[in-house]
Chains A and B, each alone.
Chain A
């Protein structure tokens, strides 16, 4: 099959499956799955930029998604003036001090000659600076966190519409990626994997514990939405008349009471479907824009260059290409796309909860999407995201169902059966690992392999 046919079949099957869920489970569930498919698609594109274009093995996807989430929260939450009054100055002063310290250290490390004297000065500067900054920073943090801790206890955000945050999330993630890339990209590829794994965990730890900035584990809930609220829709006469019009055939022929009752149910159901559709529209446009940009970039001379670097770093370097610089560029771009997806996810959830970020769900699942879909192929990554997300969600009921029925012959009081049924949820991990290994070995290109056009 040609790639185009494969892509059409793949998306077709997913479409049919989603419609099936809509008909047999509910349209709300189907749309919820679809929305997360779209977000996963954007995230997978980000990973594909790094892995497929440049062969960078970034195992810190979770961290960048979380940075996007922080951006969504900080952009949309209102400013909390009392907290700024309590400790804003201290935070700003310590921030400036950090910058000065970093500048001083960079300056000295360039100016001084290597040797014992330099090491001692650097360590003294670092320790001394750290203690001084902590002395300014700690009281400020304490002041902010004790400002109405049950409801706020943090600095708040910028009070902008949350849609801006998708862009800001990308910028934040790009900034973090730049710093990480500067440190880690010069070294061999295994190291990048270890470094990103560690950094993503540290980013999450900071979000959990720096309450003054993110409210930490107390979570920020009730983020503002870019789409209407269900309850206001349910009260809006226009929306009700839409629903009435849309369902006029099923409503006709009912008695007045039954009709009003049925209409009310339809309005409630319709309102949450409508909200989800609004989200779908937004996410789909982002996905299409990012996808189009990725396709264009890959086909451009720049795309050829990065693939040349990926396939043979040494000869690309010999041709005068700056490999480290390109790698940094791609790392930053890919992370920015992941950051955008992370901000979208937090927008959809309507809350920022640092403890939900787990490497399994936010790093490795995305990786499996890219590998299964086709590394190096943008459309393939998106297809992989759709398929794997659908499997991930439906694996739980399917796994339970299989275990329940597959072990029925053991009898109800069998200890082994009880154990197998209880462990069904862990099948997810095994299936995921197995799929990843099988695809890597037997179909290294994935469902939609990368096309290499030979001119």
Chain B
């Protein structure tokens, strides 16, 4: 029984808890991608760098608040800075839409042109972020770091294995739930949300029924900016902020959006968790876990690792390929891209 508890705690500590937090972060990013895809009809390559920009804005405000001596008690100051960061990011995306994407919408360019334009925007934002805050790690987590510490857990329970729960992990999950509920309420209950869904389903019909396309596009960009900023900040609080890593998040986020079914908000969330858990479970070494679970004589000798951690990011891609081969619409029947 103790062995079983130990195994469970071990698994929670290294797989469940980090997997859930990472999944929630990916899900928020994928939601933004999927929303942009269904309304603006292109895959936004600049999304990772949009996250980086939003996070940077929040970090700058956090520093400002810290220099004023404002803090948020046990919670990170970054949460206070969040609305300001979202506002700045929203202004930036609306500017890029005005000066880049609108032109291609007006001339009804093929989607691939939009994708290429988003690559150009990606560059620009990439450079902008590095220019302002530099390419280095920034740790902006303050407040209480842990809810449960591994060592304290061990001492309290007398188990061999510790369980750590970082406050950033708990925060990620709570904020993600609030944000996603708000988004669904908005899409399903408000007038603007409904017109967005109508626009996504059938653009011509929506135009006929008097929906203003510019308004829909604007609101979509603002929501995407908010989602990207929050996802970026949560990721940055949990791990750390580094522009290059945010660029690399692009692939798992795309994978999450496609796996769940592009254009399908629930799918994006599901996809986020599928990708996150696959990454963690496939690269986890199960040796210790089975040593607890199996009788001593059968204890494994090898590491029991399916795939070396070197290929962690390949996992999201492999899932992507498999889903596209087996079920191109994604798990929840989104659009085929």
Contact = CB atoms under 8 A, between A and B. Distances in A.
A191 B42 CA distance: 10
Given A55-B112, A57-B115, A198-B320, A436 B123 contact: yes
A429 B111 contact: no
Given A194-B254, A208-B310, A433-B127, A187 B321 contact: no
B337 A195 contact: no
B48 to A, nearest CB: 11
B310 A57 contact: no
Contact of B43 (A190, A199, A208, A428): A190
A193 B43 contact: yes
B300 interface: no
B306 to A, nearest CB: 8
A441 interface: yes
A364 B119 contact: yes
B205 interface: no
Interface string A398-436: 000000000000000000000000110011111111101
B122 interface: yes
For the residues of B in contact with A, the DSSP-based class is helix
A132 interface: no
Greatest chain B CB density within 10 A among A183, A205, A422, A440 is at A440
B47 to A, nearest CB: 12
Contact of B123 (A55, A422, A429): A429
A248 B79 CA distance: 75
A198 B328 CA distance: 17
Contacts of B128: 430
Interface string B302-337: 000000101101101100110011001000000011
A55 B110 CA distance: 10
Interface stretch (B13-21, B130-138, B208-216, B230-238): B130-138
A269 interface: no
Nearest to A436: B120
15 contacts: A193-B112, A194-B251, A195-B321, A198-B251, A201-B317, A202-B311, A202-B314, A426-B131, A426-B135, A429-B123, A431-B127, A433-B121, A433-B123, A436-B120, A441-B100
Given A367-B119, A434-B123, 7 more contacts: A183-B325, A188-B336, A190-B42, A190-B337, A429-B124, A429-B130, A433-B127
Interface of B: 42-43, 45, 100, 103, 110-113, 115-117, 119-128, 130-132, 134-135, 250-251, 254-255, 258, 308, 310-311, 313-314, 316-317, 320-321, 324-325, 328, 336-337
